[in-house]
Structure 1
Amino acid sequence: MIKKILLTFALILAFQAHANDEVYELRVYKLQFGKSAQVLHDYFQKALLPALNRQGITNIGAFEESSDNMPKKLYLLISYKDMQAYSETLKALKKDKTYIADAKAYSGTSQEDFPIDRYESSLFLSVSGFPKLVKPKSGSRLFELRTYEGYSEDAVRRKIKMFNDSEFTIFDEIGLYTVFFGEKIAGQDMPSLAYLLAFEDMEERDANWKKFGPHPEWQRIVKLEEYANTVSSIDRVYLKPLPYSQL
């Protein structure tokens, strides 16, 4: 109970301090082995995404992992203009009769046939150096989702400053095309930040990342004491867009 109260209080503080920041919800759906995921794809394509679009929420990313890792996972990236829009969207879905009707097959799927057990949802706030989601260029078929954990909140704060002051500029110069960047405010493995990069293919990805390490600005800032020990763990997942993805 105390943990829930503290989490609620933290979210309230985040809402007040970052009321005008863009908010990103990243959902990860773990598929159950041996069960068809078609009802879930139909729900995304025919019910959830259209309902969110009707509320003015566009450029919704829908992905699957490009690897053959098990269990298979589907990802949704939903961007809201601010915390209030996120809250209002959840309420609006419960009253949207078209959405409820379109989601009937999904909602009526039996427990035995349901394709997932649970899904994880994380919330992120945009940062000053990359305040808005950017739709990737046409032909982007490979997405790289990177999560940086820090040993403390201050470590993550310093890493975000590193991005704001220098790394976003480096990314622009060498072709690391960022879709979104956010500091996690709710979810597992906090404190952390995450961002999504878009490429045509793995060849473009590898070629452009090779330019990062030798870049003069990176060589300068990586030696600064201010940015020492900012990242304690990096997680990387390669994604490919589903046919109905809006990114």
Structure 2
Amino acid sequence: MRLLKKLSFSLFAICLMMSSSLMAQKRDFYELRTYHIENAEQEAMLDDYLSKAFIPAAHKQGIAKVGVFKPIDSQPDAGTKVYLFIPFKSMDEYLALEGKLAKDQVYQAAGSAYINAAFDNPPYKRIETAILKGMSEHPKYAESALTTPKKDRVYELRSYEGPTERLYKQKVKMFNSGEMDIFSRLNCSPIFYAETIAGANMPNLMYMTTHENMEVRNEHWKQFGADPAWAAMKDLPEYKNTVSRNDTRLLYPAEYSDL
């Protein structure tokens, strides 16, 4: 009997360890929503909705952190876009959110101006959405470690488009095999690294790093280019021609952003 108990305990411990390992490897899903806006009035309406209605409602549904970002003043699209980043533990959580918000009377009241906007006074021009999945070696999003004023920060959102699915997957492999580690070593404080599973520019991966200001951002890229690990990796045959287009957006977090 004692031996049986020991065996049972050992099996339980092994199952627990396996379960913990699987949970640790579970990858987040993200919605990256881009609001295209035409004027300051739409931006103000969006800010009011996101800060007073959507983000509090998302928190209530167990989404701890929501990011809101805007192009910095020097960017050609400044004042024309607002980016909303929503992390989910699963696709089921993503699919359930809309229905839960529809039943949330506090949210409906707080967001009434946005939800019930008239056809000739909309809060945006269009909405563009990408659905992403965290990379295997960075499966969860993270908060930026920056403590500087949000208005001074530079959050860099990049999309690397691959010429084919095969070559795109090689770029994902490159990130998982050491490229992400370089950013971490340089204290670029990443928010996420992800594969796009539905979006406008597939096949592509997307990621976001954060920097105290533009000067620091430029220095980080200078250091990245000179990093020995990057020098050893970038010319390997398996990683040749994996990016056909690099779309870079320089953003700052809204004051009410969680990230």
Shorter-chain TM-score category?
0.7 to 0.9
Specify the alignment match of 1:206 in structure 2. Answer: 218
**Gaps in structure 2 of 5+ consecutive residues:** 1-24
C-alpha distance 36-22 of structure 1, shift in aligned 2 (>3 A): closer
For each residue in 1:117-144, what CA deviation from the matched residue of structure 2 results, as whole angstroms up to 9, or x when unmatched? 2211110001111111110012262100
Letter in 2 for 1:212: F
| 1:26 matched to 2:26 | no
For each residue in 1:70-121, what CA deviation from the matched residue of structure 2 results, as whole angstroms up to 9, or x when unmatched? 5611110110112121112222112212211211121222222223122111
Letter in 1 for 2:168: V
For each residue in 1:126-175, what CA deviation from the matched residue of structure 2 results, as whole angstroms up to 9, or x when unmatched? 11111111100122621000000001111111111111111111112222
Contact residue 174 and residue 212 of structure 1 kept, 8 A: yes
Specify the alignment match of 1:226 in structure 2. Answer: 238
- Report the CA distance between 1:34 and its aligned residue: 6.5
Q: Choose from 56, 66, 80 the match for 1:50.
A: 56
- Report the CA distance between 1:35 and its aligned residue: 4.1
Q: Alignment RMSD, CA only?
A: 1.7
Specify the alignment match of 2:8 in structure 1. Answer: none
**Gaps in structure 1 of 5+ consecutive residues:** 1-18
| 1:69 matched to 2:76 | yes
TM-score, normalised by the number of residues in structure 2: 0.84
Secondary structure, counterpart of 1:29 in structure 2: strand
- Report the CA distance between 1:36 and its aligned residue: 4.1
Secondary structure, counterpart of 1:212 in structure 2: helix
* CA distance in structure 1 between the partners assigned to 2:199 and 2:184 by the alignment: 29
* CA distance in structure 2 between the partners assigned to 1:56 and 1:36 by the alignment: 28
- Report the CA distance between 1:218 and its aligned residue: 1.0
Specify the alignment match of 1:6 in structure 2. Answer: none
- Report the CA distance between 1:37 and its aligned residue: 2.6
Contact residue 144 and residue 196 of structure 1 kept, 8 A: yes
Could you list the runs of 4 or more consecutive aligned residues of structure 1 that deviate by over 4 angstroms after TM superposition? none
Specify the alignment match of 1:113 in structure 2. Answer: 121
Greater helix content: 2
Letter in 2 for 1:161: K
Letter in 2 for 1:219: A
Q: Percent identity?
A: 37
Letter in 1 for 2:247: D
Contact residue 180 and residue 196 of structure 1 kept, 8 A: yes
Specify the alignment match of 2:101 in structure 1. Answer: 93
* CA distance in structure 2 between the partners assigned to 1:219 and 1:227 by the alignment: 12
- Report the CA distance between 1:38 and its aligned residue: 1.8
* CA distance in structure 2 between the partners assigned to 1:45 and 1:175 by the alignment: 29
Letter in 1 for 2:141: L
* CA distance in structure 2 between the partners assigned to 1:197 and 1:167 by the alignment: 13
Q: Choose from 192, 196, 199 the match for 2:208.
A: 196
Contact residue 196 and residue 203 of structure 2 kept, 8 A: yes
C-alpha distance 145-167 of structure 1, shift in aligned 2 (>3 A): same
Letter in 2 for 1:154: R
* CA distance in structure 1 between the partners assigned to 2:40 and 2:63 by the alignment: 33
For each residue in 1:186-235, what CA deviation from the matched residue of structure 2 results, as whole angstroms up to 9, or x when unmatched? 11011001000111101111111101112111111112111111111000
Secondary structure, counterpart of 1:168 in structure 2: helix
- Number of aligned pairs? 229
Specify the alignment match of 2:170 in structure 1. Answer: 158
Secondary structure, counterpart of 1:244 in structure 2: coil
Specify the alignment match of 2:86 in structure 1. Answer: 78
Contact residue 35 and residue 114 of structure 1 kept, 8 A: no
Contact residue 114 and residue 123 of structure 2 kept, 8 A: no
